[in-house]
Amino acid sequence: MNKSGEPVLTPVSASIISGHYEALDKIGNLGPGRGFLRAAWSDEESAAMRLIEDAALAAGLNSRWDAVGNLIVETPGEFPTWVETGSHMDTVPGGGNYDGAAGVVAGLQALLVVHASGVALKRGLRLRVWRCEESSTFGVVSAGSRAAFGLLGSEVLGNVWQGTSLAHAIRGQGGDPRYIADGRPSIPASERDGIAACLEMHIEQGRVLEAGGFDIGVVSSIRGSVRRWVKLKGAFDHSGATPMGHAWRKDVNLAMAYMQVRLDELIRREIGAGKDIVQTIGVVNSNRHVNETLPGFYDNAVAKVSGSGYFSHEVRGCRADEVREFVEQAEQTIRQTAEEFGITVVLDEFSQLAGIEHLDDSLQTLLGDCCRMRGLRHTTLPSGAWHDAAVVSQVQRGDRRKIPVGMLFVPCHQGVSHSPAEYASPEQLAVGATVLADAMLGLAV
């Protein structure tokens, strides 16, 4: 018992975490230095989920699958309300084995140490292993969690990855895409309304914790995003015979370079004014699908003035109003530059996720208290990446109140993520899982 008379759990074992990873390291492994690929609704994603299910059943927990293929693990017993945790098992192509999977392994161990303690619970504990959090395969983020709550649009069922539609992939793993087609939640309303709180553990995917020597990060907010293709059309001309200058050349590549510099100058001013936003130009003339659909793109050549090109523009922030305001300023900058260089521009917005400005304050306090109880050094920080927890935080229960959501981060080596070099030690994961277990127990007793 601690000073408040509450039970103190046995810390999660790093060696048990290592055991789970010895098995996970074999699923979707592309070979030395090449990372992992567990695509959404693939055999590899399902195999990783079944590995968790088998470990849960062997330790006396219960399991089931919802209609779209998400895995649910629960402590035994009938409860009016539940405290949940969850994350995902899919990876980006060539990614690491910790983004998502670390939270699933930690969630399983949190349930197991509480279950093994024998403490009587007023609320049940539940782990959800979500399908398809990553957008890199079927082009849609958090598809499993959004489908569970009836928030996924039916148009995504036709999205294709390696020749297979999303609808076909879901059927191939035993799910029913008709739930998504009809906009039906795969979680019954009574189950949704019984979620008392949800916590997710994740690797930070950044360097703040490691650089500051922190054991845990308590997440205050989650950045959403607006993503656009900026498609440009100028005129092809001979590179030697056409004089320099805007009066002679409608040079897409040169205009694009100026756009990127001016966008960088714009965001530096906004950040200097106190805005918490980031922007990234991640793709320049290198997306296979866009290449094939943009007229004239393959007419570019070494001995030509560029007449066709494009780049991606992503803006992230926790406050949706700040993100949208910056997106509008960025569009104005892009259009003014295009006019200056005599080229035309089309902006094609293909993704929008509103940020979560505040995660639940009481859960942030609880996580901080759990860290202090264990003598851990922690800090509060926003999440730069999107997570399934953000989807859950936007879900309204039948009483019109949103589900309380909290998140905690553990450090990852040099902040590297979405890379074969992604890594968090078993000891770091065990510390995070222990804090997660403490918090879930505190909400359940």
Query: Domains of the chain by range and CATH?
Result: 14-223+357-444 (3.40.630.10), 224-353 (3.30.70.360)
Location of structure tokens 């995504």 = 156
pLDDT of residue 289: 81
For the segment 96-106, what is each residue's pLDDT rounded down to a tens digit? 999 999 999 99
Two tokens, residue 385:
């990446």
Q: Is residue 73 exposed (0-12), middle (13-18) or buried (19+ Cβ within 10 Å)?
A: buried
Measure the CA–CA gap between 260 and 285, rounded to whole angstroms: 14
pLDDT interval class at 296 (50, 70, 90): confident
pLDDT of residue 38: 98
pLDDT of residue 187: 95
In the beta sheet, which residues pair with residue 129?
A: 71, 87
Measure the CA–CA gap between 248 and 392, rounded to whole angstroms: 54
DSSP state of 280: E
3-state secondary structure of 227: strand
The identity of residue 68, as a single letter, is V
pLDDT of residue 295: 80
Q: How do beta strands 304-305 and 405-410 pair?
A: unpaired
Number of C-beta neighbours around residue 326 at 10 A: 23
Q: Among residues 403, 59, 344, 337, which one has the least CA distance to residue 197?
A: 403
For the segment 223-257, what is each residue's pLDDT rounded down to a tens digit? 999 999 999 999 999 999 999 999 999 999 999 99
Two tokens, residue 345:
């521009």
Measure the CA–CA gap between 424 and 274, rounded to whole angstroms: 32
Statement: residue 2 has pLDDT above 80: no
Strand segments, DSSP code E, in 155-223 are: 160-161, 164-165, 195-203, 216-222
pLDDT of residue 6: 63
The identity of residue 225, as a single letter, is S
Half-sphere exposure of 405 (CA within 13 A, CB side): 26
Number of C-beta neighbours around residue 241 at 10 A: 8
3-state secondary structure of 89: coil
Q: Residue ranges of the alpha helices (H) in 59-134?
A: 101-117
Measure the CA–CA gap between 420 and 97, rounded to whole angstroms: 8
Location of structure tokens 């989920």 = 49
Location of structure tokens 């007793």 = 445
pLDDT of residue 316: 96
- Euclidean distance between the first and final Cα of the chain, in Å? 13
DSSP state of 72: E
- Whole-number mean pLDDT of the chain? 96
